[in-house]
Amino acid sequence: MLENWQQRARQLKVETYAVYLAYKDPRVSWYARVFAACVVGYAFSPIDLIPDPIPILGYLDDLVLVPLGIALGLRMIPENVMAECREMADAAMREGKPTNWKAAAAIVTLWVLTALLVTVVMVRMVRG
- Report pTM: 0.67
The answer to whether residue 17 sits within a structural domain is yes
The answer to whether residue 106 sits within a structural domain is no
The answer to whether residue 58 sits within a structural domain is yes
- Could you tell me the residue range of the domain that residue 27 belongs to? 2-99
The answer to whether residue 119 sits within a structural domain is no
The answer to whether residue 121 sits within a structural domain is no
Helix, strand, coil fractions of the chain, as percent rounded to 5: 80, 0, 20
d(CA 111, CA 72): 23
The answer to whether residue 104 sits within a structural domain is no
pLDDT digit of tens for each residue in the chain (128 aa)? Answer: 767 777 787 788 889 999 999 999 999 999 999 999 888 888 877 666 667 677 777 777 777 888 899 999 999 999 999 999 999 998 988 887 666 677 667 777 887 888 899 999 999 999 87
